[in-house]
Structure 1
Amino acid sequence: MATLHRSDITEPVLAFASLSRGADYEQLSARFRPIFQKIADGTLDREQRRALPYDPIKWLKEAGFGAVRVPVEHGGAGASLPDLIRLLIELGEADSNLPQALRGHFAFVEDRLNAPADANRERWFARFVAGEIIGNAWTEVGNVSIGEVQTRVKRDGERWLVTGEKYYSTGTIFADWIDVFAQLDDDGRNVIAAVRTDQPGVTRSDDWDGFGQRSTGSGTTRFDSALVEAENIIDFSTRFKYQTAFYQLVLLAVLTGVGRAALRDVSHEVRSRRRIFSHGNAPSVARDAQVQQVVGEIGARVFAAEAATVQAAEAAQSAYEARFGGNAEAEHGANIAAELDSARAQVVVSELILKATTDLFNALSASGTSEARRLDRHWRNARTAASHNPLIYKARIVGDWEINRTEPPYVWQIGAGPTTTESAANESVA
C-alpha cells in the first residue's frame, strides 16, 4: 500500500498572502443587518418548531458572510477578528444557533488564513467567496480514551478514504465540506481531512439532544469510505496555534448575542406590560423603579460581556498578525495572551450572561414563563453554550498562569478516563 508522505500533506512554505487587518465596521455590518433582522423575525417560530435554519444559512452564504475574513484582494471583506466577533454577536442576537453553527466554518477559514500562500489556499479562498461553508467533525464518543482517534484516513489505490463516526459535529448539516479530525491509517499521524458532503460516504444526523442551542445542526456524522483529495489532507501539526482561543471566542459571541437578545426582549415585555402588582412602585411596570433597576443591571452585564469578548478578540488578532511577523518569541507570547484572554473572558462572560438571562424573570413575574414567548430559551441557550468548555478548568488555568506563569494548553481533548484497576496501578507505581 502506498504511503502518504509528509511532502504530500499540506504544509508551510515561505510565501504568505496579505493579512486581514480590519474593515470599516459600520459599512461591513450594514451589509448584513437586514439579513440579521430577517433571521430574527423567524427565530421564535423556529424555536417553537425546533426547525433547522436552512434558509437563514442560505441567506448568509449568498451575502458572503462566510468570507468576511478573506483578504479583500481575494474577494473577501478583510475583516479583523474583532470585526468578525462583533458580527457574530449581532447574528447571535438574531438567533444564537447560527454563530455556533458557523463556528467550524470560521475556524477552518482561520486556519487557511494562517496557511502559507499556495494554489491550494487560493482554491479555498475562492470556495469561501463563492459561499461554500465548512462543518465540524472532531469529537468521538463512547469507549474512546484521551488521545485516541478511531476515525481513519487510508489509501485505496489512487484514492484516499475516510472512515469513522463523530458526534457534536456542529454545522455539518448545512455544510458543503466537513473539517474532520482523523489519523492516517499507515503511521498514525493526526490530520485534518476536508471532506465534501455531497457524496454517498457521508451521513449526517440531527440527533443533538441538548436542552439549548437545539438548531445548530449538531449531531452524529458517519464517514463510510468517504473520498478526500490528497491536497485536502492537512497535517494537524500545522494547525493555527491560537485555535482553542478562537473556538472559545465564537462561544463568547454566542453568549453575548444571547444576552443582547434577552435585554431586547425583557425591555419590550416591560414596555408593553399593562398589569401591575398592588405592592409595586408605580402605576405602570415601565415606571417601576425596581423593575427599571433589574433591566438596567441586565443591560450593564451585557455591556460588560460584549466589552470583554471584543477585547479577547483583539488578543487573537494580535496572535494572527504575529504569525507573519518573523519573530518566534513575539508570536509565542501573542499566542499565550490570546489563550489567556479568551479564558478570562469565558469565566466572566458566562457568569454575566447566565445571571442576566435568569434575572429577566424578576422583571416579568409569572407571565414571563409563557410557552408562547419562550423567554426561557435565552437561559437554556446560554447555559448550553457556557457548558462546552468547563469554566472551572479555565479559571484554574488562568490562576496557574498568574501564580506560576504556567503556559496554558493550546489543544485539549476529551475521552474515557482510566479504569479503576488502571488508576489503582498508577497510584501504586507513583
Structure 2
Amino acid sequence: MSQIDLAWGAGPSPRYEELAARFRPLFSEIAKGAIARELSRTLPVDEIRTLKQAGFGALRLPEAEGGFGASIPELANLLIELSEADSNITQALRGHFGFVEDVVGKPQGDSRKRWAQRIAAGEIAGNAWTEIGDAKQDAFSTRVSRKNDGLVINGTKYYTTGSLFADWIDVGATGLEGEGVVLQVRRDDPGVDVVDDWDGFGQTLTASGTTTFTDVAVDPKDIVADQEKFRYGAAFYQIVHLATLAGIGRAIADETAAAVGARKRHYSNAAGPSSREDPQVLQVVGRIRSHAYCAGAIVLQVAAAIERAYQAHFAGDADAEERANAIAELETSQALNVVTNLVLEASTLLFDTLGASAVKKPAGLDRHWRNARTLSSHNPRIYKDRIIGDYAVNGTPPPYQWRIGKAPS
C-alpha cells in the first residue's frame, strides 16, 4: 500500500513510492521482531546488516557514485517509515547519515571519491563526539598526537551511538596545534574499544555508550578542520530526530488501533458494547493518529528547508547560502517542540484506549514514551522557543552548532 492509501499523505516526490518499495519489505521484517528485541535487549545487529546490504546507507549518495540520489525530504520520509518499524535502528544510523551528508557536500576530489566508494560498498560510520565528566565546551580532551612516524589519537567518548554496528567511526578531536578537527578511524582498528554500556531508559538498543581510543593510528588524509563540516549540520542531525519521533507516532497509532480492534473485554460504564464500537475510545484513537499525521507533515516541511540549504551550498552565492542555513535552523527549531509534544502526548494517550493489561511488559507499549522522551532530551528543547523568539523580535540569527561541557572560565 502506498503512503497515500494509508492516509499518511503523499510522499515528498513523484518517485518516492518506487524508492520506498525497495525497503518496505525490510522494514516489515524489522517491525516483526521489534518488541522481542526490546524485551530481551537484543541489539539489532542483523537488521542493520540487512539494511547495509540493501544500500540503505547510500541513500543520499548520487546515483553516479553508486547511491540512490535521494533528496533530504525523501531520506526523512524513509527514516519515518524505518522508525515506525524500530526507532532504535534509525537512531543508531543517525551518525552515519550525518557523515554521508558531509561527504555529498564535498567538492569532487580524492577525499570524496574515497568515501563515496566506501559508502556505495555498504560501509557505514558511527560517531564519537561527545565527552562527559570534565569535558570542556571549547575543546576536546581526545587528542591527535605524533607517535613514531605517524599520527595517533587517544581519548574517551560517550554517546557514541551506532559505532558498535559501524565500519568507521567519525571522531571529533583536538589537533596537533590545539585546533578542532574531525577524523575517521576503522571500528576494528587496534586500540579502538566500543562498549555497549548505554544505560538510558529509552532507545536502549542503539549502543550509545563508551568508545575508547588508545594510540589508534590516523590517516592524515582523513583529518579536516572542524569548521569545514557542512554548515546546516545541526538542522540535519535534528531532522533525523524529528523523523524518528514521527515514526514513533505512526507506530503508536498503528499499535493502538490494532489493540483496540482486538480487545474483547470492556467496561460496564462504557459508551459502547465493545472498544471498537465505543465512540469515546474511537475519538482517542483518532486523536492519536492525527498527532502522528501532523508530526510527519511537519517533518517533511522542515526537510524541504534543509534541502534548500544543501542546494544553496552549490549555487556559488555565499550570502544566499548563509540565509538558507539560517532558515533551515529556524524551521527545525520551530518544529522541534511541536513534534515532540505531539508524539509524547500520543504515547500517553494510547493507554486511555485500553485496560490495565496494556501496561504489562510483554505488550511493550511503554517503549514509545521512553523512546520519545529520550530522543527529545538529546538537544534541549527548552532553548528552542527562546531562539525563535529572539529571531522574530530582534532578528538574531540562530546558532548553527553547539557543544556541551564546562563553560570557558
TM-score, structure 2 length as denominator? Answer: 0.96
2:38 aligned partner, one-letter code: E
- Stretches of structure 1 lacking an aligned partner (at least 5 in a row): 1-20, 423-430
Query: Partner of 2:131: helix, strand, or coil?
Result: coil
Instruction: Tell me whether 1:164 sits opposite 2:155 in the alignment.
Output: yes
**Number of equivalenced pairs:** 398
Q: 1:78 aligns with which of 37, 57, 69?
A: 69
Closer, same or farther in 2 for the Cα pair 1:172/1:138, shift >3 Å? same
Identity %: 51
Q: 2:306·2:325 contact (CA, 8 Å) conserved in 1?
A: yes
Q: 1:262 aligns with which of 243, 249, 252?
A: 252
Rounded to whole Å, the distance in 2 between the matches of 1:370 and 1:351 is 25
- Stretches of structure 2 lacking an aligned partner (at least 5 in a row): 1-11
Q: Which residue of 1 aligns with 2:3?
A: none
Q: 1:165·1:221 contact (CA, 8 Å) conserved in 2?
A: yes
1:52 aligned partner, one-letter code: L
CA root-mean-square deviation: 1.2
Q: Which residue of 2 aligns with 1:229?
A: 219
Q: 1:23·1:78 contact (CA, 8 Å) conserved in 2?
A: no
Query: Partner of 2:355: helix, strand, or coil?
Result: helix
Q: Which residue of 1 aligns with 2:340?
A: 350
Q: How far off is 1:22 after superposition?
A: 7.1
Rounded to whole Å, the distance in 2 between the matches of 1:135 and 1:255 is 20
Q: 1:367 aligns with which of 357, 362, 371?
A: 357
Query: Partner of 1:372: helix, strand, or coil?
Result: helix
Instruction: Tell me whether 1:275 sits opposite 2:276 in the alignment.
Output: no
Q: 2:179 aligns with which of 182, 189, 197?
A: 189
Q: 1:217 aligns with which of 192, 207, 216?
A: 207
Rounded to whole Å, the distance in 1 between the matches of 2:109 and 2:407 is 41
Instruction: Tell me whether 1:52 sits opposite 2:40 in the alignment.
Output: no
Query: Partner of 2:362: helix, strand, or coil?
Result: coil
> Which stretch shows the higher mean deviation, 114-123 or 172-181?
114-123
Q: How far off is 1:416 after superposition?
A: 2.4
Q: Which residue of 1 aligns with 2:54?
A: 63
1:360 aligned partner, one-letter code: L
Query: Partner of 1:147: helix, strand, or coil?
Result: coil
Q: How far off is 1:189 after superposition?
A: 1.1
Q: Which residue of 2 aligns with 1:145?
A: 136
Instruction: Tell me whether 1:118 sits opposite 2:109 in the alignment.
Output: yes
Query: Partner of 1:193: helix, strand, or coil?
Result: strand
Query: Partner of 2:183: helix, strand, or coil?
Result: strand
1:344 aligned partner, one-letter code: Q
Q: How far off is 1:158 after superposition?
A: 3.2
Rounded to whole Å, the distance in 2 between the matches of 1:339 and 1:36 is 30
Q: Which residue of 2 aligns with 1:17?
A: none
1:164 aligned partner, one-letter code: G
2:377 aligned partner, one-letter code: S
Q: 1:196·1:228 contact (CA, 8 Å) conserved in 2?
A: no
Q: Which residue of 1 aligns with 2:4?
A: none
1:303 aligned partner, one-letter code: Y
Rounded to whole Å, the distance in 2 between the matches of 1:37 and 1:412 is 36
**Residue correspondence of structure 1 range 11-22 to structure 2 within 5 A:** none
Instruction: Tell me whether 1:398 sits opposite 2:388 in the alignment.
Output: yes
Instruction: Tell me whether 1:154 sits opposite 2:139 in the alignment.
Output: no
Q: Which residue of 2 aligns with 1:18?
A: none
Closer, same or farther in 2 for the Cα pair 1:210/1:34, shift >3 Å? same
Q: Which residue of 2 aligns with 1:427?
A: none
Q: 2:170 aligns with which of 156, 168, 179?
A: 179
Q: 1:23·1:83 contact (CA, 8 Å) conserved in 2?
A: no
Q: Deviations over 1:55-100 (max 9, x none)?
A: 0000000000000100011110000000001000000000000111
Q: How far off is 1:160 after superposition?
A: 1.5
Q: Which residue of 1 aligns with 2:378?
A: 388
Rounded to whole Å, the distance in 2 between the matches of 1:53 and 1:152 is 31
Q: How far off is 1:154 after superposition?
A: 1.6
Q: How far off is 1:417 after superposition?
A: 4.5
Rounded to whole Å, the distance in 2 between the matches of 1:47 and 1:26 is 29
Closer, same or farther in 2 for the Cα pair 1:297/1:112, shift >3 Å? same
Q: Which residue of 2 aligns with 1:207?
A: 197
Q: Which residue of 2 aligns with 1:428?
A: none
Q: Which residue of 1 aligns with 2:9?
A: none
Query: Partner of 2:23: helix, strand, or coil?
Result: helix
> Which stretch shows the higher mean deviation, 226-235 or 55-64?
226-235
Closer, same or farther in 2 for the Cα pair 1:231/1:22, shift >3 Å? farther
Rounded to whole Å, the distance in 1 between the matches of 2:269 and 2:14 is 52
Q: 2:139·2:180 contact (CA, 8 Å) conserved in 1?
A: no
